[in-house]
Structure 1
Amino acid sequence: MSPRFLDEIAAALEEHGLILRGGFVFDDCDAAPPGPSGAGARSVLLVGQAGAAPWPHFLRWRDRQPADLVNPLDTWSRQVIGAVADKFGARAVSPSDKPWMPFQQWAMRAEALKPSPLGILMHPEYGLWHAYRGALLFEVEIPIQAPRTSNHLCDACVGKPCLKSCPVSAYSPSGFAYEECLAHVRGPHGEACRNLGCLDRNACPVGVEYRYPAEVQAFHMASFAKLD
């Protein structure tokens, strides 16, 4: 394995606006998923984004696809990450693959992050404006630096604006009111949410320089509410 193995993977992902989001070596007690040959994986690298960096790359690809393509962002992510996996001898998996992979648990382990009150992992730099698009599973141990732990910013946030901006109080300490949120977004008073994204998420003051542009938020909201 090249000493620059991780750098080479990162460079291949960067061509598409994606980044490595950490990783780890599975413990013997972990129920590791299969790697590329079907044997148990030994290591996993998380792939994702900070801010909306992949958006221009995705749009250029989208322009060449059928207009009625279902789940285009998932399809693009699978193609890009799958090609990188093939190049570096890994198996690519996606958060939307079935059976579901424990991406949330992997991400917390890989980057030492904790969930915000909205359920999105709070990143000390990116805030809530990041995502995981897939993972690379290897059947060899990849030397991965352990994540640096930091204070969970949500613990120090007294005002919790992310729980006070939604018109229907979809997020609360008791959980996410999915049906109420969906009805509001689809309804006559949900225009701001449809066009600008989740108001609770936008209210968080952390990582605002990474906030997705309105068109990106509208795309994700339309996908959530099945508005297309």
Structure 2
Amino acid sequence: MLDTITAALEPHGLVPRGGFVFGAADDIPVLPDGTRARSVVLVGHFGSSIWQAFTAWRRDNPGVASPLDSWSKQVLNAIASEFGGYAVFPSDRPYLPFQQWAMRAEGLRPSPLGLLIHPQYGLWQAFRGALLFPQSIAFAPLRENGHPCDACASKPCLSACPVDAFDGETYAVARCRDYLATEPGQTCMEGGCLARLACPVGRHYAYLGDQQRFHITAFARS
């Protein structure tokens, strides 16, 4: 089943990002028919793999509010229906524990910036949604990976921000957003978050320039 889901996601630049079977102790999501889900498959991307498909969709759907969320929902709702599942998304309320699911599905841990970091792709990866299924799915055993930040002594991500928005524990969101509205802040607006770009892990998977600008513009306006 995972192979066929992978094939269905591939044209959109998306991939399954691991999953698991819910246990009795979990807060298990309820499906539309009132039953509880049995399995979850996380869906996301690495680097800019989605960018071509998303920008083509956006050209055909101008003026859509929250375009990336809208595209994700259109794609994943269709795929969920095809495979007898139900799609859920990080932006929907009531919020589901996507970060905890991601950590459990792929063994990821947060970076000093708060973003989950992948041992190969670094900070250049994201989760666009998840597929819930009423049946158990066989998942490969989770391979344990060391946390890449443990081997990074200098932590350049914490010293690259011009306004010291990150301290390894908290993120000064308002300070960051205020800086983006200034003339010096246009460096970040045009080129992307300097703290994120400073991370050496998976640096060659960094998002394309247009994608960097899309995300930081959306953040600045939120």
Q: Same-fold call, TM > 0.5?
A: yes
Paired position in structure 2 for 1:161? 156
Whole-Å separation in 1 of the counterparts to 2:203 and 2:170: 24
Paired position in structure 2 for 1:30? 26
Which letter maps to 2:54? Answer: F
Paired position in structure 2 for 1:191? 186
Describe how 1:117-132 pairs up with structure 2 within 5 A: 117-132=112-127
Q: CA deviation at 1:38?
A: 2.6
Paired position in structure 2 for 1:65? 61
Whole-Å separation in 2 of the counterparts to 1:173 and 1:78: 33
Q: CA deviation at 1:209?
A: 1.9
5+ residue gaps, structure 2: none
5+ residue gaps, structure 1: none
Paired position in structure 2 for 1:213? 208
Tell me if structure 1 keeps the 8 A contact 2:112–2:169: no
Tell me if structure 1 keeps the 8 A contact 2:113–2:168: no
Paired position in structure 1 for 2:11? 15
Tell me if structure 2 keeps the 8 A contact 1:36–1:139: no
Q: CA deviation at 1:23?
A: 0.1
Within the alignment, does 1:54 sit opposite 2:50 as a pair?
A: yes
Q: Deviations over 1:62-110 (max 9, x none)?
A: 011132x210000000000111000000010011010001000000000
Tell me if structure 2 keeps the 8 A contact 1:16–1:54: yes
Whole-Å separation in 2 of the counterparts to 1:54 and 1:139: 28
Q: Secondary structure at the match of 1:106?
A: helix
Whole-Å separation in 1 of the counterparts to 2:62 and 2:221: 18
Paired position in structure 1 for 2:173? 178
Report the TM-score when normalising by structure 1. 0.95
Tell me if structure 1 keeps the 8 A contact 2:17–2:44: yes
Report the TM-score when normalising by structure 2. 0.98
Tell me if structure 2 keeps the 8 A contact 1:194–1:218: yes
Whole-Å separation in 1 of the counterparts to 2:168 and 2:198: 17
Whole-Å separation in 2 of the counterparts to 1:223 and 1:42: 34
Tell me if structure 2 keeps the 8 A contact 1:117–1:162: yes
Within the alignment, does 1:115 sit opposite 2:110 as a pair?
A: yes
Which letter maps to 2:170? Answer: G
User: Would you say how many aligned residue pairs link Structure 1 and Structure 2?
Assistant: 222
Q: CA deviation at 1:151?
A: 0.8
Q: Deviations over 1:32-88 (max 9, x none)?
A: 101352311010000000001010100111011132x21000000000011100000
Runs of 4+ in 1 over 6 A off after TM superposition: none
Paired position in structure 2 for 1:143? 138
Paired position in structure 2 for 1:84? 79
Which letter maps to 1:88? Answer: F
Whole-Å separation in 2 of the counterparts to 1:20 and 1:174: 30
Match of 1:98 among 93, 102, 109: 93
